[in-house]
Amino acid sequence: MLEVFRESPHRRWNPLRRDWVIVSPHRTQRPWQGQTEETAPATTKSYDPECYLCPGNVRAGGHHTPVYAETYVFENDFAALKSDLPSAEFDIERAGLLRATTERGVCRVLCFDPRHDLTLATMDVEAIRRVVDVWAAQELELSRRDDIRYVQIFENRGAMMGASNPHPHGQIWATEHIPDEPAIELTSQAEYFARHGRPLLLDYLELELKLRERIVAENDEWVVLVPFWAVWPFETLLLPRGHVRTLNGLDTKGRDGLAAILKVVTAGYNRVFNAPFPYSMGFHGAPCDSDQHPEWQLHAHFYPPLLRSATIRKFMVGFELLGSPQRDITPESAAETLRSVMSETT
């Protein structure tokens, strides 16, 4: 990279979201007098009688979590979306100013493990591998429904990200419409594919593997990198080496590789500040509408909020809410930090 970009403020283009991020490398030395967060003590009990996700416990509304041995999926008792709705829409005076449509969908919870005190970072790879199979099976089942066009699989980890329960679990939301983030990525990938005849993210990965400035971990099937356009300080992008559009499109080796790399990433994150590392992570697979989506490449985003210690988080406020996002630590120096913690054996 040109020297001026290592030391001076500049902006970087995100070809996937079609927006810019401002990078201010010279600001990393500024003193911090802002807010610090409490760190939640690590959970130590393997079973919590108060936890509604622990085997055998009662959930809201009298539902029962069964005694499960590996993973457990159920419809969210307080689902944000419902599937048994009549379809309706309005657009007052057809001005496009006051528009709404009904949104049908399904919200499910997936318990990764019966043990209350584990996380993806501390589960063994075989257990994570079972979670990968459940993700793929859920994606396949929901994507076959006529009323579903997108299946979003995600995990919120840590109280800082609003996770209400430390029990290892994630969520699956399936919606009638393609949500905004994957919709923007669809437009970008489709236009790139029309112009170049290759998936955008495969070409991007090829460039990153050539430069090797932002790669943080890899195995035979998957690569983890800090994207050139990362907004969150320690944001990462997980990419399969080959072209695959969905989780259920991953073969056995692809699934094995994903389970192994998820362990490396989540365990490595916990070593950045030697404390549980909060994040939102999720998979972006191809939409399940009528199209085949040759342009789409499966990937996962990790968005961790921490900035410079386990108690200092990044806020998206001021210019970032009103203008565009900005970061101080360069993606290259974040990659260096992550590379060293993720290369330690787990």
Phi/psi zone of residue 18: left (φ > 0), alpha (ψ -120 to 50 degrees), beta?
left
Question: Rule CB under 5 A: is residue 116 a binding residue for Zn ion?
Answer: yes
Residue 115: closest CA among 133, 126, 127, 132: 127
State which residue, 17 or 308, has the beta carbon closest to Zn ion.
17
Distance CA 30, CA 24 (A): 11
CB of 183 to Zn ion, least distance (A): 11
Distance CA 326, CA 324 (A): 7
Q: Contacting Zn ion (CB under 5 A), which of 23, 53, 106, 200?
A: 53
x/- contact string, 230-269, with Zn ion (CB under 5 A)?
----------------------------------------
Sign of the CA dihedral with 17 first, then 20, 24, and 30 last: negative
x/- contact string, 177-216, with Zn ion (CB under 5 A)?
--------x-------------------------------
By annotation, the residues acting in catalysis are 169
State which residue, 132 or 281, has the beta carbon closest to Zn ion.
281
CB of 88 to Zn ion, least distance (A): 30
Q: Contacting Zn ion (CB under 5 A), which of 51, 125, 159, 215?
A: 51
Question: Rule CB under 5 A: is residue 54 a binding residue for Zn ion?
Answer: yes
Give 100's DSSP letter.
E
State which residue, 69 or 322, has the beta carbon closest to Zn ion.
69
Q: Contacting Zn ion (CB under 5 A), which of 12, 104, 157, 167?
A: 167
Residue nearest to Zn ion (CB): 51
Distance CA 330, CA 232 (A): 10
Beta bridge partner(s), residue 58:
64
Which span (53-61, 146-154, 191-199, 201-209) binds Zn ion, by CB under 5 A?
53-61
The CA-based angle 45-51-54, given to 5 degrees, is 75
Biggest distance spanned by C-alpha atoms of the chain: 62
State which residue, 116 or 149, has the beta carbon closest to Zn ion.
116
Beta bridge partner(s), residue 14:
19
Question: Rule CB under 5 A: is residue 115 a binding residue for Zn ion?
Answer: no
Please give the span between the terminal C-alpha atoms of the chain, in angstroms, as a whole number: 32
State which residue, 48 or 203, has the beta carbon closest to Zn ion.
48
CB of 230 to Zn ion, least distance (A): 12
Beta bridge partner(s), residue 301:
237, 282
Which span (31-39, 153-161, 187-195, 284-292) binds Zn ion, by CB under 5 A?
284-292
Residue 156: closest CA among 168, 173, 142, 139: 168
Distance CA 100, CA 216 (A): 43
Q: Site for Zn ion (CB under 5 A): how many residues?
A: 8
State which residue, 139 or 185, has the beta carbon closest to Zn ion.
185
Helix axes of 252-272 and 125-143: crossing angle, nearest 10 degrees? 120
Q: Please give the residue ranges that form the binding site for Zn ion (CB under 5 A).
A: 48, 51, 53-54, 116, 167, 185, 284
